Amino acid sequence: MSSTAFRPTPRATTAPGADLRPGSPPPPLRRALSTALRALRHAAPALLCYLAVRCTGLLLLSVWAHRSRHGVWPILATQWDADWYLGIAGHGYARELGTAHNANNLAFFPLYPVLVKAVAAVTPGTRAGTGLALAVLASLVAAWGVFAVGDRLHGRRVGVLLTVLWAAFPVGLVQWMGYTESLFTALAAWALYAVLTGRLLTAAWLGALAGLTRPTGIAVAAAVTVTSLLALRRHFGLRALAAAVVAPLGWCGYVGWVGLRLGRWDGYFAVQRLWHNELDGGRETLRMMRRLLVYDPAPRLFLVLVTLTLIASVVLFGLSVWDRQPVPLLVFTAVLLTIVLGSGGVYFPRARFLLPAFPLLLPVALHLSRATRRHRVLVLAAAVAGSAYCGAHMALVWPGAP
């Protein structure tokens, strides 16, 4: 989406009442629709590339699953985290903390299961089908937002390349599963785009929704709030002040609600401790990396992939700082990396947790935009093939959750 996509279209000189044909939408709505269609046409190459990448991964998964006599539907719609969200949509949240590990559904944020329940109530089919459909639709909105950020900063070619690289993330299959990563990335990407275009209050509301989607929603809130506070330093404005306050409301609201539900101020953090998720400064992350890369004679391929993804993310963040990315993007990725790398919780889903960190791919997209066509094609083809293989391996060979 170009930076001109939201500029109002100049009014044509017409006779009074010429636009008031029976059944026609009012001029403001017509202009808004026209603007949206132009923006969609501008983003169409990125969205088509995104669909091509994800369909390639889905095709390989289907063929591999068929030969292994596995069903594709349960993998995408009903297993692992998808099962937790469907349980929340069907039966609500737990009312007590309990003592069992990895068993309290209050660890899962509410926006996605609420959407699943609401949409399933007015559409045919099952909640599992609704959840998967919402994830796929959200992934397209996310891809559009990723393109919009890249296009805004460096032009259309970089926007398309950034979208393709995000689609070809090693665990990109999760984008088309009944998980929250696609919805969260959509909210994060458009919140960051809104910040970059000066729409701080819009960004704040999107950040609040992101805070209701995943624990890492605090990273979006931090990006919006820091940018708003910097704007207040330059010039006081009520919109910037309101944005700084609104952005963290979603995350804080859910954490506070869990505390009230459990009758203790640290209720949410107590739930996370039952899931072995506590910040330990990165000690567990470093221990697992050292074990997998140095001491384990035959490490699992998926765990090696997770480790390499984490290491690459740190390197890409350094390159992002070197490239002087805008402050909101750096704050978002810095907070996200701090949470993922600093957690003492389970190790294997860490690559998935970094899926929304698309700004980390900007240095690669910039490099490819300046490379020869042959080099660009070879790199993207390898990335797409690798993503398809890693996604199928993650779903069919790795015995745990993605």
Kind and range of the H or E run holding 307:
helix 301-322
Residue 5 has pLDDT above 50, yes or no: no
Q: Give the span between the Cα atoms of 66 and 343, in whole angstroms.
A: 37
pLDDT band, very low/low/confident/very high, at 18 (cuts 50, 70, 90): very low
pLDDT (average), residues 168-177: 97
Q: What are phi and psi of 179, to 5 degrees?
A: -115, 175
pLDDT band, very low/low/confident/very high, at 55 (cuts 50, 70, 90): very high
pLDDT (average), residues 308-331: 97
Position 401 scores a pLDDT of 87
Q: What is the DSSP letter of 343?
A: B
Q: Give the span between the Cα atoms of 183 and 112, in whole angstroms.
A: 8
Position 16 scores a pLDDT of 43
Position 20 scores a pLDDT of 47
Residue 4 has pLDDT above 80, yes or no: no
Position 23 scores a pLDDT of 56
pLDDT digits (tens, 9 = 90+) for 190-216: 999 999 999 999 999 999 999 999 999
Distance from the Cα of residue 388 to its chain's centroid: 19
Q: Give the span between the Cα atoms of 152 and 132, in whole angstroms.
A: 30
Residue 222 has pLDDT above 60, yes or no: yes
Q: Give the span between the Cα atoms of 34 and 103, in whole angstroms.
A: 49
Query: What dihedral angle (degrees, nearest 10) is formed by the CA atoms of 143, 145, 147, 150?
Result: -140
Position 9 scores a pLDDT of 42
Q: Give the span between the Cα atoms of 130 and 175, in whole angstroms.
A: 15
Position 236 scores a pLDDT of 87
pLDDT (average), residues 326-345: 96
Distance from the Cα of residue 199 to its chain's centroid: 20
Q: Report yes or no: 316 and 166 within 8 Å, Cβ to Cβ.
A: no
Q: With H, G, I as helix, E, B as strand and everything else as coil, classify residue 279.
A: strand
pLDDT (average), residues 360-370: 97
pLDDT digits (tens, 9 = 90+) for 270-296: 999 999 888 999 999 999 999 999 999
